[in-house]
Amino acid sequence: MLVLAIGSIFLEHIRHSSTASNYLLVCAIIHRLVPFCPHLTRLFLGETNGFADRGVPESEIAFIHTADTEAKKKELFAKVRSGNVRVLMGSTAKMGAGTNVQDRLVALHDLDAPWRPGDLEQRKGRIARQGNMNETVHVYRYVTEQTFDSYIWQTLENKQRFISQIMTSKSPVRSCEDADETTLSYAEVKALCAGDPRIREKMDLDVQVAKLRLLKSSHQSQKYQLEDRLLQYYPREIAATKAAIMGCEADIKTRDAHPAPADGLAGIELQGRQYDERVAAGEALMQILPTIMDTEPVHVGSFRGFDVEVSLEQFGKHVLTLKGTLEHHVELGADARGNISRIENALTALDKKLGALNTRLADLQRQVENAREELEKPFPQEDELREKSARLVELNAELDMENNSEPQEAEKPSVLAKLKEPIPLYEPKPHQAKSNGIKSRG
C-alpha cells in the first residue's frame, strides 16, 4: 500500500512540478510506529520503489512525529506552507485539528480507515479549507481487497448513518446498535483472512437489508401521517373551506344588492355622514384614522351593505375591515383617494376569492382520494426485504454468528441446606488421648 501511495504521489509530483505543491499522507497506525520512523523513512527513500530513484530529495519528505515540540512543529508547518517540504506523513492524532498547512496542499492520501467518522472529516479538513491556493484538490483512500478494511469501512458507515439520523431528524429510526460494541466471531475473522466470499455477501446484505428496513419504516410513517390527515386535517380543512365558500357567496349577494354607479362611488357612510365622492370620503377617512389607537376593531360606518371597522395594527398601520358574513381586510395608506379605491377593489375581488376557495375545496377532496389510495398500497419492496433477510439469516447461521450460547455453570450448593445439616460431635482419636496422658479403662 505504501508503494502504491508513493507511486501516486510521484505522479502528482510530476503533474505539479512547476509549483511547490504539498502532499499529506495520513495513517492511524503511524502513531504506534513512532519508534520505527527511521525504517519508514528508508522505505520512502529507498532505491527500490522509493523516492530516491525518482528524483525526489530527502529534504522534501518529513514525518510529523519528528517534531516533538511546539517550536519544531511551527518550523515544520512553515516549511510545508512555503513548499520546502513536499510530503508530510503522520497520524490523525498528530495532524488533526490545529494543523494549518493547507496553503499549497494538492493531495491527501488516507492509507487506512479510522474507527470514527469524525476522524475522516478531520483528515479532509486539512486540505479542503480556506487558504488553499489550489482550486482543485485530490483525496486518495486506499483499501485492500479481502482484508479487514471492508469491515472497518462498514462500521464507519453504520456510525455515520446513526449520526446523520440524529443530526437531521429525517429518519424514523428511534434506536441504533452501539457500533463501538461490534465484535467479530472467530468464524468471521477466519473467513475474512481466507477471503471467504460469504463475508462480502453478508456485508452487502447487511447494508441492503438496513436500507430496505429504513424504507419500510419510512413507508409506515407516511401511512400513519396519512391516517392522521384523513381523520383530522382534511375533515377540518374541508369544513372550513365549505363555510368560507358559503360566506363568500352570501357577501357577493350583499354586494350585488348595493350596486355601484358606473362612473361614481357608491355612497359610504362614515361616523353618521354620507359621502358620494371619492376625494371627500378619503379625506374624511384620513381624519378618523388618528383617533383609532386600539388594536380592537372600531366601527366607523358602512359601505354597500357591509359594516366598516378600523383597527391599529403593528408598526402603526391601520387596517379597514369590511364585515359581512366574512371579514375582508384592506390595509390603508397615506393616499386618501387611493384608500377608497382599495376598499372598492376588495369587494370587486370577491368573485376571484370565491373561485380560489372552490379550487381549494376540489384540491382537498382530491387529496383525500389520493390518501385513501396510498393507504391501500403495501410496501413495494416487501418481497425483496423478505428474501434478503432470509438469506442474511442463513449466512449468519453458516458463519456461526448467532451462536451466543454460554456453557451452563455447575449448580452451586445451597447455603441454607448446608446450615440445616447436623453438626457431628467431636470425639478424640485414640492416639490423641494417649499423648495427653489419658488411660483408657478396661
Question: Is the pLDDT confidence value at 386 over 90?
Answer: yes
147 vs 278, more confident: 278
Measure the CA–CA gap between 350 and 331, rounded to whole angstroms: 16
Cβ 88 vs Cβ 22: under 8 Å: yes
Confidence band, pLDDT 50/70/90 cuts, at residue 365: very high
Checking DSSP bridges between strand 298-303 and strand 306-312, what pairing results, if any?
Answer: antiparallel
Which residue stretches of 274-414 are H helix?
278-288, 336-348, 350-376, 382-398
Kind of pairing between the strands at 61-63 and 87-90: parallel
Say yes or no to pLDDT of 373 above 70: yes
CA–CA separation, 176 and 173 (whole Å): 8
Order of all β-strands in the sheet with 138-141: 61-63, 87-90, 22-26, 105-110, 138-141
User: What CA–CA distance (Å, rounded) separates 89 from 64?
Assistant: 6
Q: What is the pLDDT of residues 405-434, one digit of tens each?
A: 444 444 555 544 555 555 555 455 555 444
Cell numbers for 22, please give them.
504539498
pLDDT band (50, 70, 90) for residue 33: very low
Residue 66 C-alpha cell reads as 519528528
Cα 145 to Cα 68, 110, 149, distances in angstroms: 35, 16, 8
Furthest C-alpha separation in the chain: 154
Nearest to 242 by CA among 329, 321, 305, 326: 326
pLDDT of residue 379: 92
Stretch 53-61: mean pLDDT: 70
Does the CA dihedral 220-222-228-234 come out positive or negative? Answer: negative
Distance between CA atoms of residues 364 and 379, nearest Å: 25
> Quick one: DSSP state of residue 442?
-
Would you state the pLDDT for residue 56? Answer: 67
Mean pLDDT for the chain overall: 76
H/E segment holding residue 249:
helix 234-257
Strand order in the sheet with 268-270: 273-275, 268-270, 298-303, 306-312, 318-323, 327-331
Residues 6+ apart with CB under 8 A from 341: 278
CA atoms of 269 and 262, how far apart (whole Å): 19
Q: What is the reported pLDDT for 86?
A: 78
Please compute the mean of the pLDDT values over residues 211-217 and round it to a whole number: 89
Answer yes or no: is pLDDT of 222 > 60.
Answer: yes
CB environment 145-181: b (16+ within 10 A), e (fewer):
eeeebbbeebbbbbbbbbeebeeeeebeeeeeeebee
How high is the pLDDT of residue 415? 45
- How does DSSP classify residue 230? I
pLDDT given for residue 409 in this prediction: 47
> What pLDDT does 391 receive?
92
Q: What mean pLDDT is predicted for residues 259-267?
A: 81
- The CA distance from 195 to 146, in Å, is 5
Residue 299's alpha-carbon distances to 231, 307, 346, in angstroms, are 40, 7, 18
Whole-angstrom Cα Rg for the chain: 42
For the beta carbon of residue 404, count every other beta carbon within 10 angstroms: 7
Q: Where are the domains of the chain?
A: 2-142
Q: How far apart are CA 30 and CA 65, in angstroms?
A: 9
Q: What is the pLDDT of residues 144-192, one digit of tens each?
A: 776 677 777 777 777 777 677 666 655 545 555 444 444 445 455 555 5
Average pLDDT over residues 384-401: 86
Q: Are 335 and 345 in contact (CB under 8 A)?
A: no
Given this model, what pLDDT does residue 437 score?
46
Find all residues with CB under 8 Å of 173, minimum gap 6, and list them: 165, 214, 217
Q: Closest Cα to residue 303, out of 337, 336, 345, 332?
A: 345
What crossing angle do the helices spanning 37-45 and 2-15 adopt, rounded to 10°? 50
The CATH H-level superfamily of 2-142 is P-loop containing nucleotide triphosphate hydrolases (3.40.50.300)
User: Angle 197-228/382-398 helices, nearest 10 degrees?
Assistant: 140
- 226 exposure class (CB count in 10 Å sphere: 0-12, 13-18, 19+): buried
**Structure confidence at residue 420 (pLDDT):** 53
Contact assessment for residue 338 and residue 279, using Cβ atoms and an 8 Å cutoff: no
Q: Which residue has the higher pLDDT, 378 or 424?
A: 378
Confidence of residue 49 (pLDDT cuts 50, 70, 90): very low
d(CA 12, CA 365): 63
**Distances 289 to 14, 205, 327, 429 between C-alpha atoms, Å:** 79, 73, 19, 123
pLDDT band at 262 (very low <50, low <70, confident <90, very high): confident
